[in-house]
């Protein structure tokens, strides 16, 4: 992470972002009230130049929904809150106002092959953002930039006219990274970019992202459900559960002294390479399944699975509050 200057302002500031979907069911009567699914409930964070914010949680906790909300990609959903980019409020902005912002904030998707158009060559895929956002460039200029970016992500010029199905999963993710970085953005949102890859390939992609981050001064939002993966790339980590923030902390503070029971349960599930230590480790198993976001629990949403839950937890909604110098937690007893 780049050293933060005193008084430095965030390049991206998200406040109380909420995303709600209308759930349709064939079993409902036409006059029945429409059910609402609260996918993201009041998440707030700041992102500074050159840093990496990790976002973790179980599947279905709203991580990807939050990422798409930041980019205003939820058509038909009810959204509220504030998204401030470089000092400018973007929530509710018109499409023409979002166009220059999309050039500065790019996204890498979870499935490397599904995110690439199978009918386009690699040159066309990587060069597409340039043709969209910089139409003044000639075909030769686009090709020069495409070749330069391919080299930076570990691809060769000989592969430029191949199609996505001719590449492995790791190579396809490198193509996705090249496409996201070809415009030289300030922020890249990585939506579980390594979850579909083998462990050895995961390490290669994470190291590539860290190297490119240092070279280009990128800020990253790195989404994953694996806390072990997030540890190697993040500066701060946001833990989500059922659309809400459970804990937001500096990396070392979160791994050394987690304050929220949900964070402790996630950390206890990380395998340790040492067999002796792994056998002695106490795993904090969570009881039950993730509750439905259509009908979430009252009070603290985590209380139905929390080993420390008390009667008060069913009534009071915990707010994210400062519990240590580098840690915020949404727990009544943190």
Tokens for 2?
A: 């780049």
pLDDT per position as a tens digit, 275-301: 776 677 777 778 778 888 888 999 999
Residue 113: predicted pLDDT: 84
Residue 2: predicted pLDDT: 54
Residue 110: predicted pLDDT: 85
Kind and range of the H or E run holding 52: strand 52-56
pLDDT at 1 over 60: no
Nearest alpha-carbon partner for 118 in 74, 164, 166: 164
pLDDT per position as a tens digit, 124-157: 999 999 999 999 999 999 999 999 999 999 999 9
Q: What is the mean pLDDT of the chain?
A: 90
Mean pLDDT confidence for 240-267: 94
What's the CA gap between 219 and 8, in Å, rounded? 14
Q: DSSP code of 313? A: G
Q: What does each C-alpha distance from 302 to 16, 104, 243 come to in angstroms?
A: 19, 36, 11
Mean pLDDT confidence for 25-41: 78
Residues in contact with 123: Cβ distance below 8 Å, sequence separation at least 6, in sequence order: 143, 146, 160, 161
Residue 133 near residue 142, CB atoms below 8 Å: no
pLDDT band at 3 (very low <50, low <70, confident <90, very high): low
CA 155 vs. chain centroid, Å, equals: 25
Nearest alpha-carbon partner for 154 in 132, 168, 171: 171
Residue 202 near residue 192, CB atoms below 8 Å: no
Radius of gyration for the chain, computed over Cα atoms and rounded to the nearest angstrom? 21
**Does pTM top 0.85 for this prediction?**
yes
Highest-confidence segment of 73-82, 225-234, 317-326: 317-326
CATH code reported for the domain at 12-23+34-329: 3.40.50.300
H helix runs in the chain, sequence order? 63-70, 95-104, 122-133, 139-152, 169-181, 199-216, 227-231, 251-256, 261-268, 275-280
Mean pLDDT confidence for 234-248: 96
Percentage above 70 pLDDT, the chain? 96
Lowest mean pLDDT among 3-7, 21-25, 117-121, 173-177: 3-7
Burial class (CB in 10 A: 0-12, 13-18, 19+), 280: exposed
Going edge to edge, which strands form the sheet with 236-241? 105-108, 187-191, 219-224, 52-56, 236-241, 244-250, 327-329, 321-324
Residue 76: predicted pLDDT: 77
Domain regions of the chain by residue span: 12-23+34-329
Percentage above 90 pLDDT, the chain? 67
Residue 88: predicted pLDDT: 94
pLDDT at 264 over 70: yes
Residue 95 near residue 180, CB atoms below 8 Å: no
Mean pLDDT confidence for 161-184: 94
């Amino acid at each position: 992470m780049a050293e933060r200057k005193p008084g430095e302002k965030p390049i991206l500031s998200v406040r109380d972002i909420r995303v709600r979907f209308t759930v349709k069911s064939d079993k409902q009567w036409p006059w029945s009230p429409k059910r609402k699914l609260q996918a993201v409930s009041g998440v707030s964070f700041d992102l500074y130049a050159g840093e990496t914010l990790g976002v973790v949680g179980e599947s279905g906790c709203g991580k990807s929904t939050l990422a798409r909300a930041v980019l205003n990609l939820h058509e038909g959903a009810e959204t509220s809150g504030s998204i401030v980019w470089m000092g400018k409020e973007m929530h509710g902005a018109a499409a023409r106002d979002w166009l220059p912002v999309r050039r500065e904030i790019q996204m890498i998707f979870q499935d490397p092959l599904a995110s690439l158009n199978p009918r386009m060559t690699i040159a066309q895929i990587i060069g597409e953002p340039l043709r969209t956002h910089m139409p003044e460039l000639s075909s030769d200029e686009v090709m020069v930039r495409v070749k330069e970016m391919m080299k930076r992500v570990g691809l060769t010029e000989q592969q430029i006219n191949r199609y996505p199905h001719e590449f492995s999963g790791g190579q396809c993710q490198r193509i996705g990274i090249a496409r996201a970085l070809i415009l030289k953005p300030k922020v890249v949102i990585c939506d579980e970019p390594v979850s579909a890859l083998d462990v050895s390939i995961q390490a290669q992609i994470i190291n590539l992202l860290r190297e490119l981050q240092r070279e280009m001064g990128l800020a990253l939002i790195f989404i994953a459900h694996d806390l072990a993966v997030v540890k190697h790339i993040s500066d701060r980590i946001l833990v989500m559960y059922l659309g809400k923030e459970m804990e937001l902390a500096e990396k070392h503070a979160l791994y050394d002294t987690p304050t929220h029971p949900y964070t402790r349960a996630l950390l206890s599930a990380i395998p340790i390479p040492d067999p002796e230590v792994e056998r002695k480790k106490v795993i904090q198993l969570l009881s039950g399944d993730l509750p439905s976001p259509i009908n979430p629990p009252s009070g603290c949403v985590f209380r139905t699975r929390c080993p420390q839950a008390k009667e008060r937890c069913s009534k009071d909604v915990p707010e994210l509050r400062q519990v240590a110098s580098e840690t915020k937690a949404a727990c009544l007893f943190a």
